[in-house]
Amino acid sequence: MTAVQLAAQHILGHLTKERPLFVALQGPQGSGKSYLSVKLREYLKANPHDLNVVVLSIDDLYLPHDDLVSLAVAHPENKLWNGRGQPGTHDIALGVKLLSALKAEKSSVELPRFDKSLLDGEGDRIPMDGTGTIVTQPPRVDIVIFEGWCVGFQPLSEHEIILRWDGIWKEERQKLKLGENEIGRLTDLESVNESLKEYLTLWNFFDVFVQVFHERIASPAYLLS
């Protein structure tokens, strides 16, 4: 059984008459989550399943460039917010609005797009002016696959952050010979962690979780729940 078939079997096992089914797909960079999402959509849309599948990346929910710059300027010492990527750099309100519209079977929903090549690689969101992918209902959407590296991440308690900062994270910093100026300070991590609490409103949509990771950096593996 291929990885696509395995993930599809798991997803189909959770499919009920209540649609759409929201699937969270998480994995680090290079793990193949974007590729798997596309292949899953192709597989589930094809015969004999013939399902209406929408794929969205959390990357397309990045704040517009001007807002990313404003965030960095407002927190000049926080290396983690000097650019896009970390929790706090996404438009959660837009994500909730989008998933709510798909769930409510709105007749026309435009998917956002973030172009990372714009502005010398700093990237910017492309205006939602009708030129992007438009999801029309009916027919109703059966499955929404939402993929991203931090999808499903939960905020840590202050105690847990301190334990990791002085424990495994300290060990990794020493191995990599990186100081706080390169990877951020404890207070920076605490700010990102606080922002992660807002993401829980997105995670609450999801019915199924698929985690993609590399075992020994060679063969892909999948955790399904």
DSSP 117-146: TTTTTT-EEEP-SS-S-EEE-SSPP-EEEE
pLDDT at 217: 37
Structure tokens at 184: 């951020």
What CATH number is given to the structural domain containing 187? Answer: 3.40.50.300
pLDDT at 21: 98
Residue 64 burial by Cβ neighbours in a 10 Å radius (0-12, 13-18, 19+): middle
User: Which residues in the chain show pLDDT less than 70?
Assistant: 214-225
Supply the DSSP symbol for 79.
G
The count of other CB atoms within 10 Å of the CB of residue 166 is 11
Separation in Å, CA 121 to CA 40, 62, 127? 29, 14, 17
Q: Which residues, at least 6 apart from 95, have a Cβ–Cβ distance to it below 8 Å?
A: 58, 61, 202
Task: Please give the model's pTM, rounded to 2 decimal places.
Answer: 0.91
Question: Rounded CA gap, 133 and 7, in Å?
Answer: 25
pLDDT of residue 180: 79
Give me the pLDDT at residue 214, please.
Answer: 61
- Looking at residue 147, its pLDDT comes to 97
Whole domain around residue 158: which residue ranges? 3-224
Q: Do 125 and 114 form a contact (C-beta atoms < 8 A)? A: yes
Helices 186-196 & 158-165 angle (0-180, nearest 10): 140
Q: Give the number of domains in the chain.
A: 1
Residues 6+ apart with CB under 8 A from 18: none
What is the token pair recorded at 216? 């020994």
pLDDT digits (tens, 9 = 90+) for 84-129: 999 999 999 999 999 999 999 999 999 999 999 999 999 999 999 9
The predicted pLDDT at position 2 comes to 87
Note the pLDDT of residue 215. Answer: 53
